[in-house]
Amino acid sequence: MTGTRVFLTGVGGQGTLTATIILGQAAMDKGIDVTAGEVHGMAQRGGVVESTLLLGGYRSPRISHGEAHVLLGFEPLETLRALPYLVAEGGTIVSNAEPIMPLGVTMGRETYPSLDDIRKRAEACASRVVFLPCQSIGAEVGALQCGNLALLGAACATGALPLTPDDLIAAVKARLKPKVVDMNLKAIDLGVAAVS
């Protein structure tokens, strides 16, 4: 198979690293070689969390600017900040459309960019862009954290990953605690629906 480099980014507390693990496990369950890495310096204070997932035989977990085939953004501003990592042509972006305001914005010291601007800049960088309301989907299925599975479901539905939504569903059933499986499966369904 051709390799796929996936760059995942969000802020602390969103479950970006958990989503990385689930996606990696889904790939391993399918027999795909996985290499992963993560950066989460101030994650517990709402700082940026970045992780990488390289599918298909890569040896290094690093992704440099211009190398990511797929960008998964769990927070819109972090999606914007990660745009330089996307390949120059043919990249795919799947992003949460609902911001989590940084402390500087909530204190009135900084301004959050408009979602329209973020979307336009994303569309200028990628051949396919999907924004979906992850927190709202999470709330609809019973837990905000499930919004991450909605995002992963949408990513699998785009065809940009070597994984289908059914591959993701199988990983969730096999790896998550039984009491949270149903709500995460509902989130995946809603994420897939957001792509079609």
- From the options 3.40.920.10, 3.30.70.980, 3.20.20.70, 3.30.70.270, give the CATH code of 4-194: 3.40.920.10
pTM of the predicted protein model? 0.93
Q: How confident is the model at residue 194 (pLDDT cuts 50, 70, 90)?
A: very high
pLDDT at position 74 is 95
pLDDT at position 46 is 61
> Within 67-133, where are the H helices?
76-82, 103-106, 115-125
User: Are 3 and 46 in contact, with CB atoms under 8 Å apart?
Assistant: no
| Every domain of the chain and the residues it spans | 4-194
What is each CA distance from 173 to 27, 75, 170, 178, in whole angstroms? Answer: 14, 26, 5, 8
